[in-house]
Structure 1
Amino acid sequence: MSKSKLITVKGIGIATLMVNGEDFISLTDIARNKNPDEPKDVVKNWLRSKTTIEFIGLWEQLNNPDFKGVEFDAFLFEAGSNAFTLSPSKWIEKTNAIGLVSKQGNNGGTFAHKDIAFEFASWVSAGFKLYLIKEFQRLKDDENDRLKLEWNLQRTLAKVNYQIHTDAIKENLIPQELSKQQTSFVYANEADLLNMALFGMTAKQWRDANPKATGNIRDAATLEQLVVLSNLESINAVLIHQGLPQSERLIQLNKIAITQMKSLLNSKSMKKLK
């Protein structure tokens, strides 16, 4: 569960959360549009409706393989009667629901998956729902713009590291007497050193194995591989300046690539960038 972000809808602050990669919106905050003093009562009243139980039950059946159908049927049978009451925490506990989340502490309350939250907003006020959708979309657009900026910064960093890498090759591995064709061979040779350390093959080997693919081995790289490649270029530049032979650099770079890939593949931050 990530830190909440706030959007403002008709002067009301509404918190949003990321739960297991899905967007959740505060029902408690939405309910303030109907009853600013007792928003919890608004949520409980909504949960008393048979239509509501049918909707959130169907959502769970479509999205939650561990949803307890027997308990759901019991709630559905009782829903709508004068004596029927249901709290979000009871619904979650009895049915193993994942579409609602109860958050304790500051900025707590009941959160719902956006599909359910928009349905609740319609029940509160159709007009309020439209404003909510508009502001929520604005938040997602801002997040996408930020991710694009981070991606562009990563691309820029990769270019800077590439320049550092090629400068190190030029200063330490290429005698002045070599022709342009000869120097390009050295650059390509060092590029394939990184390819071997990270991908386990040279650029030519990749092309031979993927004859119908467009681009090259690095064009087909994942985000994690591009990050590691950028780091390897900087590290290889340092190793070149230290005078390490290529065979020793390959061993070290391969070990670093394995360690960093394992770390990045388990990184929640990297998963959010995708």
Structure 2
Amino acid sequence: MLLVGAIGVVLVSGVLWFRTEMREALPTHSDPAIIASNELYEDLCENKMGVTVHRKVTGVDGYLRHSERLFFNGEDQPPTDVARGGCTAVCLQQMLEQNFSYVEAPYNASRERSGIFFNELATATGKFRYHLIDRPDSKCQRFDRLMESNGSYQRRFAGFSDLLSQKCIVADEVEQFSAAYEMRMDTLRVAEPEYLGAKGFIDEVRRSVVERKSGEVLAMQRTFMIGIPNFRNSLAAHCAVSNEDWLEIGHVLDGSPNIRGNGDRD
């Protein structure tokens, strides 16, 4: 397997753009259609892949975390599929680390995999606000069960023992989301090239942070992957930013220690 790497950081007109590329070389082939699709994929990796941060915001109470969505019929069409959503251990850890008082998220209980050990505070399909409440409270029971039995919770919250001895995290259902900012995680079908009579794919995996009222995009990460039928289980190659540069909510939004509380502030 041949990996190609490239690193670059550029600051243009106050906009931070950077890319740390990990790219697997594409298989070679003489078929013109395959050559054309490979060239499209290489162009996307070369000119579109990377992270752009337009603006950062501090003093943010919380944010809305969208479920991951697939758009295989166009971005202007309804999603082809929507993941279960929710806010599990990684999401909740980021909430505490970035001093957000809450995270809002939809959750679809019907998408929970059968037999999987529970790792989600929400217990039914709906819109939820995840936030801290003071102990003692009977609503802490589900969080405490997770802390007792789920290794991911134990590892990720090990550094918050003092805080969590006095508070716990709960998921309260809300009628409407109220966060001013949201994080989106979408996969868009760019093309479906033919490979020797079979359909392949080129997908864009996009993460973005958006101001909900204005629609302003504060930051965006774009990575790409190409699939060829009957080649390594279809996924032939991908180009993406490194783990160190992966766009997380804390790169764009930051809370404030004095708002860490019960999540009831508007």
TM-score by length of 1: 0.23
> Which one has more relative contact order, counting CA pairs under 8 Å at least 6 apart?
2
TM-score by length of 2: 0.24
Choose 1 or 2 for highest CA Rg.
1
